[in-house]
Amino acid sequence: MSSLAIAQPVYDLLRRTPEFFAIRQLSMTDVLALVALLAFGPPLALSVTAIAARFCRPVWIRAAIAGPAGLLIGAIALQAARGLPAAVAVPLAAAVCAGAVCAYVRLPVVRHLGSVLAIAAIVAPAILVLDGDVRRSLSSSSGQIATHATGARAPVVLVVFDEWSVISILDAEGGIDRQRLPNLARLADRATWYPNATAASNMTNHAVPAVLTGLRPGPEQLPIGEDHPINLFTLLAPSHDLFAMEPVTSLCPPGLNLFEQRRPAFGRRLGLLVSDLRFVWLSLTLPQPWAGRLPPLDRTWSGFGLNESQAVLTPSERQLARSHPHRRNDERVADFRRFVDSLEPPGARPGFYFAHVLLPHGPWEYLPSGRRYGRSRSYGLHDGTWTADPWTVRNHEKRYLLQVQFVDRLIGELVTRLESLDLFDRSLIAITADHGASFQPGKPLRLPSPDPSDDQLLDLVGVPLIIKAPLQDEAKIDNGEFSLVNLLPRMLELAGAGPGVLAHLPPTGTEPVLFGEHAAGLKVPADRRPWRRTRIAAQTELLGKANDPAKIGTRPELHGRAVAELPLRDGEVRARFDLPGAWDDVDKDAMFVPAIVEATFIAPEDQTSRSVVVAANGVIADSVRPYAGAGGRSRISALVPDDLLRPGANKIDLFLVSNRDGVLELERLAPPDVLAYETDPSYSWEPERNSAGSIRGLLRRSVDNPDQAPESFRVVGNSRKLFGYLEATVPEQPTAAGGPGGFRLSGRAFDAEGPGRPGTVVAIVGGSTATGFTGPPLNDNAFAAQLMADREKVEREGVVAFAVGHGGVATRLRFSYRAIESDGNGREVIPVSDGRRLVVADPGDGYAGAIDLVVAAGKATRISAWAADLEREEPPRQVVVYRDGEFLTLLRPARRDRPEVAERFSAPRLLRSGFNGTVPGGPLPSVFSRRHRVFAIMDRGSAIELPNPPAPGGAGRAQ
């Protein structure tokens, strides 16, 4: 029964979209593991009650089986009724579930039918595994390598960006916008621009293969080498070294690809697959209004849960996000920069460098500076179609245009690298996109509009195309129609391929292959001029006189003005920031900035008819129109330009805009009531430790009744029911060295078992002194408290804080590492949100350690190292990796035996001082040390920087 309710809907969807397997680089082993997991996992989990009944009360076994069976039948009923309103579908499914339970208990024929249906456990996966398209998508054909060279001798660089509309690069006159996109314009000054280039398809998995094969895509073809045996890789393989970055396709023969890109490990592939299919099953089962709250499944091929967070990824949030299995580091930019690093100086054989870059495709999370402001769900986009509200769509288009400016920055990095290697002039360089995107209210983002007379289709297939021929140094514009299907023969011709090669290329049509419910029979309009004029006019109006996407808003005339210049009054409307502490300590040098401002109106709730302006440090930064969020509450989502944020504390304010007698007036939105946690005088707290000295529990004693037995709270790991983080531990005033002082603790604690009840946080300093704080329940789960503690101890050892739950358990609040800073004495310091200030030092003075090995491992880099405190004969407390001075990742590997270290220092306790770990982003080992630093965090309050090996793959020596 579980196969019908859980596995079969997922299998059916996967069978109809076999490219899902190819794009994720899955093998038959992965699919068989998935089949085994779905075949045995749910039945075993649902059989727990029956197994228990069999051993405890055999008379209950029939009812124990009927319960799970009824739930599965109810799930099938819910899938069938998901198109109905939730208020109808859920009671209907519940009724079916109850009826199935009763029928199973009372009617033998129903029990017999259930046994017969068990054959579905074999039939459902067999249909999937034996499907021809699925098996093809799991193959790894190398394609047909050309037996003779084409004659092309020029280095070739082809970069295909994703979801990039040609309109987004144009200025008011229809040329490339030099103000917004200076690097693209600089490239076009020495290249040929094709303003009327047309994508081969509106779907990536068909558009990119068409670019690489020169063939019009077939609807049944998969983006794999077996379906496209002759392509640009196989044609150039005899004469060129191949470097291919293919996140969606798999056309380059794996054995010839020199780009350091390997499949993720089996465990990671399977884990991400199961996590993603969980969202797929929920989207197929839940009523549509509820399914709409799930992460969108049509914006990416993997990591569906990545877009569901509405929080800014502050350092604390990034630390907390590691406990969420469906969130992982974004790799799009890191992959592109790895690709740029892979470019090599001219050699005996030219290179063919291909990159498919998943930008400016959503999620839209990058500012033009390259700083990332975090992700939020694309509100107003339902089943791939925009809402009819124009301001909601414009707000998303604003973020899209800002991300396009970041793409321009990446193009500048590529050109600079080519010039530095003396590759630019001699190379054939092509910059284009797989397809575009549409930002028309009420119209689809990616699929053709149902209105056949609509020109929205051109938004999807009109893409940028710039080609620089070898030795070309002057600008040209080719205004003719140009399909990207013809890009392959054009590139071969410009690279110097012989006429015989070009003559043997098969002829193909140029009309794009469109996908979507309303795509049949649609044709690209022959005259694009009306569409171009309309879109350019709309975009010019949107950008305003400043020609700056950051100025887009409902009140652009207010952007950049000081709040003090306008009439101002306090209002009664209240709003709550999603992350009220996000701007308390901004690091302007970090790659992540809290530029996104999201808030929810408290009362009155409906404010969607008025504009809201957001001010940063007294200057108006953005103006938006609220939208209806979950539960009908009005919400806002706005952006603050990073140049308005200052280092350290920032003040963010929200105002409603009123127009009284033609005069604009600002009405300040009041924050929610903020209530601090106070020391609870009724109880004292102390840690309870195990034999190893670790805190295993907390004991709470009554001050008024000391003879009463203490109440014990068992310490558990973070879970969905109880978790939190310590955001900041800030001294409130200077204190004498070694003396006590006040510290302000702030963070968040989530307790699902005690909604609406007072919360409790316990802070421990110096291993034994514990202080309990109790405060009122807050809707945003924030807390703030004042702690008196020895400053030297706090800065050396930190504050260990716990959130106490209402189920007799407690969990430690996570802490986060902040950006490296200077302490004013010329020393580097790593601040930690638990109050520690770790002085960076090299090995020596009782510390030792080194990195032994740095090797590529798929899309990550694996390092092997060791570290030790020689005085205490202890391994490090933690090992952290920083990139560009910003915290990147925390290594949590099992300790490794290093007998040579223990022998060298005559310290048997240092036997397990070694560790391995992976660094996300996949930096090339040869350039790892340029941007990355590895620190061993010691209990004595130091961060020991581990020296890198002398060469990639070299061994580090004991220091």
pLDDT at 322: 31
Q: Are 871 and 908 in contact (CB under 8 A)?
A: no
Distance CA 656, CA 85 (A): 35
Pairing mode of beta strands 740-751, 722-731: antiparallel
Q: Are 863 and 917 in contact (CB under 8 A)?
A: yes
Give alpha helix (H) positions in 199-262. 204-213, 232-236
pLDDT at 740: 58
Only one residue has tokens 């963070």, namely 747
The better pLDDT of the pair 786, 395 is held by 395
Residue of 243, 154, 152 whose CA lies nearest to 426: 154
3-state secondary structure of 569: strand
Domain residue limits, the chain: 2-137, 156-266+331-535, 553-663, 678-812, 821-945
Residue of 215, 334, 270, 302 whose CA lies nearest to 33: 270
Counting every residue written for the chain, the total comes to: 959
What sign for the dihedral angle of Cα 247, 253, 257, 260?
positive
* pLDDT band, very low/low/confident/very high, at 39 (cuts 50, 70, 90): confident
Q: Taking residues 921-934, what's their average pLDDT?
A: 82
Above 60 in pLDDT, residue 623? yes
Above 70 in pLDDT, residue 310? no
* pLDDT band, very low/low/confident/very high, at 145 (cuts 50, 70, 90): low
Q: Taking residues 591-610, what's their average pLDDT?
A: 82
Above 60 in pLDDT, residue 326? no
Distance CA 343, CA 859 (A): 17
Average pLDDT, the chain: 83
pLDDT at 679: 84
pLDDT at 314: 34
Count of alpha carbons within 13 Å of 564, Cβ hemisphere only? 2
Assess whether the region 553-663 and the region 821-945 belong to the same CATH fold: yes
The better pLDDT of the pair 955, 886 is held by 886
Q: What is the CATH number of domain 821-945?
A: 2.60.40
The better pLDDT of the pair 540, 742 is held by 540
pLDDT tens per residue across span 101-127: 888 777 888 777 777 777 777 887 888
Above 70 in pLDDT, residue 875? yes
Only one residue has tokens 């709409």, namely 292
The class level of CATH for 553-663 reads mainly beta
Above 80 in pLDDT, residue 510? no
pLDDT at 820: 93
pLDDT at 780: 55
Q: What is the CATH number of domain 156-266+331-535?
A: 3.40.720.10
pLDDT at 952: 46
pLDDT at 18: 73
pLDDT at 672: 65
Q: Which of 148-162, 666-680, 877-891 has the highest mean pLDDT?
A: 148-162
pLDDT tens per residue across span 683-716: 899 999 988 788 999 999 988 888 889 999 999 9
Above 80 in pLDDT, residue 375? no
pLDDT tens per residue across span 181-238: 999 999 999 999 999 999 999 999 899 999 999 998 887 788 888 888 999 999 999 9
* pLDDT band, very low/low/confident/very high, at 719 (cuts 50, 70, 90): confident
pLDDT at 143: 55
Q: Are 762 and 804 in contact (CB under 8 A)?
A: yes
* pLDDT band, very low/low/confident/very high, at 312 (cuts 50, 70, 90): very low
Residue of 843, 876, 880, 840 whose CA lies nearest to 863: 880
The secondary element (H helix, E strand) that includes residue 466 is strand 465-468
Distance of CA 522 to the CA centre of its chain: 35
Q: Taking residues 769-790, what's their average pLDDT?
A: 77
pLDDT at 620: 97
pLDDT tens per residue across span 721-763: 788 888 777 776 554 444 556 888 888 888 877 666 778 899 9
